[in-house]
Structure 1
Amino acid sequence: MSTTPETAPADALDDPYIARYAGLVADDKEVLMRADFARMRDLGKAAADAESIEQLERLSSQASAISDLWKDRDDELGHAWQHLGDAYHDWRLNPSTMARFAEQVEVDRAQGVYAMTDMQWRSHMQAREITGHGQWSAEADHSSAGSALAGHGGNAFAAGTERDGAER
């Protein structure tokens, strides 16, 4: 069950994937992208443990459908999807290298040096978390969105408002 990038259900916070990222990301469409990436990853893991060919095909098809919503977009979110996929891959294959990289980025950001966008940094935090190599919290996120979101304060999902319609 995924949402389209343009719409979200009125009960979006009932979706555990959306609820997870609504507290970390200010932009509603970015929340959907991050939720869909985590959902796609979980479907892929479930497919690997499928008990039948039919189940494997169904779960793989669902994961592919989610990826298809984002991977070919020629906009900021499409590029962010690709960056998140790359970061996820790197955290899975080289966690110690990525941990050193993240530590250096944090030092640089604390000194006012921003070698990547806030969205790219959030992708690294998400990839680190979903690969089991660290927690991502608003407090740990040094981006402007992370610090502004304590308590879900600036986003339509957290405020319980409906966006352009509802589609799941």
Structure 2
Amino acid sequence: MAGDTSKKKLVGRHKRVAFMDVTGDGKTYTRMTGFTSLSDGKNSTEYSRQYVDEASERSDVVGYAPSMDYEFDLYMNDAVQKKLATITDDELLGSDAQVTVVVVDLFETKADEGNTCTARKRDWSVIPDTEGDGTDALIYKGSLKAAGEIIKGTATTTDSWQTCTFTAE
């Protein structure tokens, strides 16, 4: 049936992509490529209790401690990977070990435009774990842990999603 929009479609993992502000100017975000893992953990905090007049416990989410585990094969001339590798190799601390990431849902386009999509921006602290794992490529592993509130908005590209700009709602 042509034009049937009610049919469910599976969203591929490649349709949620991340971009990092590698220059620190807050204007242009560069696509994070070469990552073999980039998973987002919400690490929610629960408030659970059982009332004396009820048979089951109730739970509410009262907070989050988001983290994003990463793993990548190091490629030369990749600005995103170089930034994360420098933080790891030079053991940078505090705000020197923070990055801003925009996560874009390419499956959520705005106003039938393929160059503007739903996005979320957040500052993250880089928590390095290991480097040098593996024998085929130099692999870096670690986590990004939330260092600020999430900002919802849109991302727009002019170069087929190699870079993007972010506009808050």
| Same fold, TM-score > 0.5, yes or no | no
- Structure (1 or 2) with the greater strand fraction: 2
- Structure (1 or 2) with the greater helix fraction: 1
- RCO higher in structure (CA 8 A, sep ≥6): 1
TM-score of the pair, normalised by structure 2: 0.28
